Amino acid sequence: MNGILGPGGLDERFLTRNGHAARQLAALLIRQGADGAGARLPRVRDVAELLGVGNGTVQSALRLLEEAGAIKTVARGHLGTFLTGSDRAVLWRLSGLGTVRAALPLPYSRRFEGLATGLRAAFEEAGAPFAITFLRGAAARVTALAEGRAELAVLSRSAADRLTGRQSVELITDLGPGTYVGAHGLVLRPGVTLDAPGLRIAVDDASEDQRMLAERVFAHRPGVAWVPCSASQVREALAQGRADATVWNLDEVPGQLGAEVQVLPLGDELTHDLAVRHTSAALIGRTGEAAGAGALSAVRDAVDLSAVTAVQDEVLRGERVPAY
C-alpha cells in the first residue's frame, strides 16, 4: 500500500481537485455502507452529479483510493463496478470525518464499563477513530454534544426522550433493556420505614433519572424533604442520618451505598414501559447540518451497534476484561 500521509499531513495527491473528490467519495462509501467486499459501487455519473464534478474526476478519485490501498475493485461490464476488498481504517482517515468523540456516564458500575468497552470494540472493528470522555449527568452529556465537544452521547432512553427536544440532537439507537442499568430500587437507611412521615429523600440533581424517579415515588408522601446529594455523597448522607431514603441504581448497591442499607423493589409507581426506558441505553447525536452530523451519518451505517451489547454481556459475565 502506498502511503497516504506526507510530511505536512495528507499525501499531496489528496490535496488536488481529484484528491478532494477522492476524500468525498471515501466518506460517501462509508455512509452508504459500501466499504465491504462484494458491494456494488455507485455509478460514476451518479457520484459526479452528487459531488458536482465531472465523470473523469470521479474516475481519477477511484484510482486514488485504490492506489492508497483504501479499496480494491473489479469491473463487471453492464453490472457495474464492485469492491473486492477495502481497508475501513484508511477510508475513514481519508474521508476527513475525524475522530468520533463519545460522552459516556462515569464508569462506576460494571454495566457502564461493559458499555464503554462495547462501543470502543465496535468502532475499532469499523476502523473508525474513537475517543471517550466521561461526564456525570445526562444534561452535561447533552450539552457537550450540542456544543460540539462530542459527536455522540449515551443516556438512558428515558433521559434521551426528555432532553433531545431541547437541543439540536436526535436518537441514533436504543440498545435495549438492561444496557444502561439493571434496575432501580428503593434504598432506606436502617430502621426507617416507608410509611414514616417527614422522610428526607436524597436527590442527585445531576442525574435526570434519579431525580425524576425519586419525585415519582416520594413526592405524594406527607412532609417529604429533599436533600441534595451528589452520587458520591449519598452513602455518607444515609449513614449519618442526614437522609432517610432514595431511589438508586441497583448496580451500585451495596458496593456504593454499603451493605447495611435496606433495599426494596419499586412498586406500582413505575409502569413497565417507564421501567424499560430507564434501564435502556440510548445513543444520541447532533441533527441536520450541524458540525459532526457527517460522522453521525457514518456511525449509523458503518458501525455495528449490535456488537456493543454482545461485548457488554461478555464483560458482565466476567468473560472479558473491560478495556476502554
Q: What is the tens place of the pLDDT at every residue in 179-232?
A: 999 989 999 999 999 889 999 999 998 888 899 899 989 988 889 999 999 888
pLDDT per position as a tens digit, 118-145? 999 998 887 788 999 999 999 899 999 9
Is residue 154 within 8 Å of residue 172, measured between CB atoms? no
Better pLDDT: 161 or 167? 161
pLDDT per position as a tens digit, 238-285? 999 999 999 999 888 877 788 889 998 887 766 777 788 899 999 998
Ranges of beta strands (E only) in the chain are 5-6, 9-10, 71-75, 81-86, 100-104, 130-134, 152-156, 169-174, 184-188, 200-203, 225-228, 245-249, 262-265, 281-286
Distance CA 62, CA 68 (A): 10
Query: Is residue 96's pLDDT more than 70?
Result: yes
Within 10 Å of residue 211's Cβ, how many Cβ atoms? 16
Q: Rg for the chain (alpha carbons), in Å?
A: 25
Query: Is residue 13's pLDDT more than 50?
Result: yes
